[in-house]
Amino acid sequence: MSQRPAQAVSLFALLVLAFSFFAPAAPAQFGPGADPFATVGASDEPEVSVRLEASRAEVRPGDQLVLAVVMEFREGWHAWPSAAQDVLPDGFEFAIRTNAGLLERPSWIETLGGTQWPEPHDALVANPMGGGAIEVPTYSGVAPIYLPMLISADAPEGDYTLAVEALYQVCDDSICLAPESVTLEVQVRVTDAPGESAGTSVFDAFDASVFADLSEGAVVTSDAPARTFFGVALPSAGGALGVVITALLAALGGFILNLTPCVLPVIPIKIMAISQHASSPGKSLLLGLWMALGVVAFWVAIGLPVVLFANFTDPSRLFGIWWVTLGIGLIIGAMGVGIMGMFSITLPQKVYMVNPKADGATGSFLFGVMTAVLGLPCFGFVAGALLAGSATMPPALIMTIFTAIGVGMALPYLVLSAKPSLVDSIPRTGPASELVKQVMGLLLLAAAAYFAGAGALGFISERPSLATSLPWWGKVVHWWLVAGFVVVAGLWMIVRTFAITKKPVRRVAFSLVALALSVSAGWYAMSVTGKAQKNFWVPFDEDALVAALESDQVVVVDFTAEWCLNCKALKSAVLLREPVVGELLSAGVIPMVADLTSGKAPGWEKLRDLGQTGIPTLAVYGPGLSEPWISNAYTSDQVMSAIARARR
C-alpha cells in the first residue's frame, strides 16, 4: 500500500487554511496616556475629516493628474499606516491599515502611478506584547494620500466624476473608533483649453518624479481599496510566508488528486503515449512539460470564474450574510457526499472520444488538459467546494491556490516523462484509492459543518431575542460536528489501513497520522467548548436591559469588537480578573456584551445614545444611579465602586 491515505488528510488542512480568518493579536496593556478616571462624551469636532482634491479641475488629453485623499486628524488622534509601508512592529497584525484607491479606473485614464503614502509619525498606543504604551508610526495631523495618473492622449472631452474609496480606523491612546470605509468624489473636466491649476498647497509634498516613469510607458498599478468585512479590513494570509504555505498545501492537495480512481489508472497510459512519440529522453521530457502545462492551465481556468466574480463585487462581505454562508456549507456538504459515492458526475461520451496526439507541443498540451478533464468525475467535488469557499479571498490568493493545485497534479507527469521506467512502480487502483476519496469526502463534510454552523449563528445573531435565549452550548455544537467528521475520517483510515495492508510500518505510520488528526480535532472542540462554557456574558438586547432595570438589577454593558485591541486589553486586565469577575457573577448583576464587530450590531445605536463614538466603553446601570456610569479606560477599583453605587 502506498502513502495515499496519509496524504489525503492534508486536504483538510488546505481547506482550513484557505477558508480561515486569522485570530486577533494578544491582549495589551494601557499606557500612561489614558485617563482611567475620565468619561468620554461626544465632541462637536470630528476626530478626523477626510476629503478628496484634484491637482487640476481641467486637464488636457495626455496631461498629468494627481488626486489627494486628505485626512486631517484632531490633536491626539491617529490612523494606522498603510500595509505598503510596513512600518509597524511585530504584534500589530490586528491593526486596520489605511488604504485608498480608485473604485473604478475610467477608460480615459491611461496609467496609474503607485500610491504615495503620508509620512508616519510616532504616537503612543497600547503595547500588544504587554506592559506600558509604546510609540509606533501612525498617520496624524494632516496626512495626504496621493494617487497619480496620466490622462490618455485620446481622452474625449467632457465632464467626469472620479470616485475613490478610503478605508481607515481612527484611535487615540485609549480608544479606537469603528473602522470606516468612505467613498469620495471629485469632478474633472477634460478639455483642449484647460484653465489654471486648481491644486492647493496640499500637493506641495507630492513627489512628481513618478511621472517620469509613467511617461516612459511603465505601468505602476495603484493599490486597490482593501477588501472589507462590514467595513473592517480583512487581514492578509500571513504575508509572504502564509502565501507560500498555502501554495505548498494546495500543491500537495493537487498531488493527492492523482490518487483517485478516475486519474490513477490513466497515468501509465498517458506516459507511455508520450514515450512512444518521443525519439529521445530529452524530447520525452519536453513533451511531458507541455502536458504538465496543460494540466496547470485546466486548474487556472477553473479559478478564473471566482476571480471574475471578485472583480464585479466585494465577495469578502459574503460571510456577513447568514444565508450565503449557510448555502456554502450545504454546497460543500453535497460535494462531500458526492465524492464518497452517493452520486457521481458523468461526463458526456463525446468528451471521452477527444484524444489528442502527444506528438508535439500543442498535442501534448491538449493531452494534459484532457487528462485533467477526465478526472472531473472524481475530483470535481473538491473543485466545486474550493470554488464556493474561496469566493471571499483576494483574487491573487485565489489564483495562487488553483495554480498550485495544478502544479501538484502535473508534477508526477513531468517526473515520469523524464524517467518512464518509474511507471512500473505506480500503484494500481483498488481499495487504497477508494479510501482516498472516502477520507476526502468526510473532511469536506467537516468543512461543510463549519460553514453551516457559522451561517446558523449568523441568522441567530441578527435576532437579539434568539441570541439572548441561545444556551452556551448552542454556540459550539457545530464545532463538535466538525470534530465528529474528522474523527470518523481518522478512525476509518485506521480501519481500512489494517484491512488493506499487513505491513506493520505502514499500519503504524497511517494510524499515527489518523490519531493525530482525530485528537487535534477533538482537542480543539473541547477547547472551544470550555471557553464557551465559561463565557458568562449575555448578548446585549435593549428589551433585556430595560427588563433588568425594571427589576432593580445592576447591568454592566461592555461595548467591544474583534478589531478593538484596547477592548481586549481592558477585558483581560480588569473584567476577567478578581475581584471584578466575582462581582459580575454575583447575585443581582447581569453582565452584557455589545459586540460591535458588525456594522449592523444593535449595540451601535445604544453606544450613540450614550454620547459615545468609540470603544472600549463600559456602562454600568442600576437603581442607585440616576445616569449610567460610563468609562473608556477604567480600573478594577473604579468598576467595583460603580457597581457598588449602582446597587443602592
Domain presence at residue 545: yes
224 or 331: which leads in pLDDT:
331
Q: Output the 3-class SS for 210-256.
A: HHHHHHCCCCCCCCCCCCEECCEECCCCCHHHHHHHHHHHHHHHHHH
Q: Do 75 and 54 share a domain, yes or no?
A: yes
Domain presence at residue 497: yes
Closest listed residue to residue 559, CA positions, set 481, 484, 626, 611 = 611
User: Cβ(436)–Cβ(4) under 8 Å?
Assistant: yes
Q: Do 422 and 331 share a domain, yes or no?
A: yes
- Give the distance between the most distant pair of CA atoms in the chain: 96
pLDDT at position 232 is 38
Neighbours of 106 (CB within 10 A): 16
User: Cβ(471)–Cβ(367) under 8 Å?
Assistant: no
Q: State the CATH number of the domain containing residue 625.
A: 3.40.30.10
As a dihedral over the C-alpha atoms of residue 212, residue 215, residue 221, residue 225, rounded to 10 degrees, the angle is 80
Nearest-angstrom CA–CA distance, 640 and 149: 58
Summarize pLDDT for 126-136 with one digit per residue, the tens. 666 555 677 88
Q: Do 545 and 525 share a domain, yes or no?
A: no
pLDDT at position 358 is 58
Q: Do 484 and 595 share a domain, yes or no?
A: no
- At residue 119 the predicted structure's pLDDT band, cuts being 50, 70 and 90, is very high
pLDDT at position 247 is 83
Nearest-angstrom CA–CA distance, 269 and 176: 63
Domain presence at residue 291: yes
| Number of structural domains the chain divides into | 3
Q: Do 380 and 441 share a domain, yes or no?
A: yes
Work out the average pLDDT over 555-575. Answer: 81
Q: Output the 3-class SS for 395-462.
A: HHHHHHHHHHHHHHHHHHHHHHHHCHHHHHHCCCCCHHHHHHHHHHHHHHHHHHHHHHHHHHHHHHHC
The pLDDT > 70 percentage for the chain reads 70
88 or 424: which leads in pLDDT:
88
Is residue 38 pLDDT above 50, yes or no? no
Domain presence at residue 424: yes
How many angstroms separate the Cα of 455 from the Cα of each of 324, 434, 569? Answer: 7, 32, 29
Burial class (CB in 10 A: 0-12, 13-18, 19+), 308: exposed
Is residue 568 pLDDT above 80, yes or no? no
Q: Which residue pairs, CB below 8 angstroms and at least 24 apart, start in 314-321?
A: 314/227, 314/228, 315/391, 315/392, 316/227, 316/228, 316/229, 316/234, 316/392, 317/228, 317/229, 317/230, 318/391, 318/392, 319/229, 319/392, 319/454, 319/458, 320/229, 320/230, 320/458, 320/598, 321/458
pLDDT at position 14 is 39
Q: Are strands 158-168 and 180-190 parallel, antiparallel or unpaired?
A: antiparallel
Q: Do 181 and 253 share a domain, yes or no?
A: no
478 or 320: which leads in pLDDT:
478
Q: Copy the grid coordinates of residue 320.
A: 456577513
Is residue 170 pLDDT above 70, yes or no? yes
Q: Do 465 and 607 share a domain, yes or no?
A: no
SS3 555: strand
pLDDT at position 217 is 46
Domain presence at residue 471: yes
Work out the average pLDDT over 36-41. Answer: 36
Phi first, then psi, for residue 63 (nearest 5°) are -75, 170
pLDDT at position 221 is 40
pLDDT at position 316 is 42
Domain presence at residue 37: no
Least confident window among 25-29, 321-325, 406-410, 515-519: 25-29
Q: Are strands 589-595 and 554-560 parallel, antiparallel or unpaired?
A: parallel
Work out the average pLDDT over 337-363. Answer: 63
Summary mean pLDDT of the chain: 76
SS3 302: helix
Q: Copy the grid coordinates of residue 570.
A: 481592558
Q: State the CATH number of the domain containing residue 78.
A: 2.60.40
pLDDT at position 292 is 85
380 or 69: which leads in pLDDT:
69
Domain presence at residue 43: no
Amino acid letter, 102: L
| Domain around 602 | 538-647
Q: Do 504 and 441 share a domain, yes or no?
A: yes
Summarize pLDDT for 152-161 with one digit per residue, the tens. 888 999 999 9
Q: Do 243 and 206 share a domain, yes or no?
A: no
Summarize pLDDT for 370-394 with one digit per residue, the tens. 777 766 666 655 665 565 555 556 6
pLDDT at position 506 is 83
pLDDT at position 132 is 63
Q: Do 325 and 450 share a domain, yes or no?
A: yes
Nearest-angstrom CA–CA distance, 132 and 15: 39
Q: Give 537's DSSP letter.
A: P
Maximum average pLDDT range among 85-94, 367-376, 453-462, 484-493: 484-493
pLDDT at position 299 is 86
Is residue 479 pLDDT above 60, yes or no? yes
pLDDT at position 130 is 56
Amino acid letter, 263: V
Indicate the residue among 192, 215, 233 that finishes a domain. Answer: 233
pLDDT at position 554 is 94
425 or 171: which leads in pLDDT:
171
Q: Given strand 617-621, what is the order of strands in its sheet?
A: 538-539, 589-595, 554-560, 617-621, 629-631
Summarize pLDDT for 537-562 with one digit per residue, the tens. 888 888 889 999 999 999 999 998 76
Q: Do 279 and 249 share a domain, yes or no?
A: yes
pLDDT at position 325 is 73
Q: Do 75 and 138 share a domain, yes or no?
A: yes
Indicate the residue among 473, 502, 531 that finishes a domain. Answer: 531
Domain presence at residue 38: no
Burial class (CB in 10 A: 0-12, 13-18, 19+), 451: buried
Work out the average pLDDT over 470-482. Answer: 84
Tell me the whole-structure pTM to 2 decimals.
0.46
Least confident window among 63-72, 116-125, 532-541: 532-541
pLDDT at position 266 is 62
Nearest-angstrom CA–CA distance, 408 and 253: 7
Query: Element (H or E) spanning 299, and its range?
Result: helix 281-312
Residues 6+ apart with CB under 8 A from 261: 378, 429, 433, 434, 437
pLDDT at position 509 is 87
pLDDT at position 559 is 92
Residues 6+ apart with CB under 8 A from 204: none
Indicate the residue among 496, 514, 531 that finishes a domain. Answer: 531
pLDDT at position 262 is 63
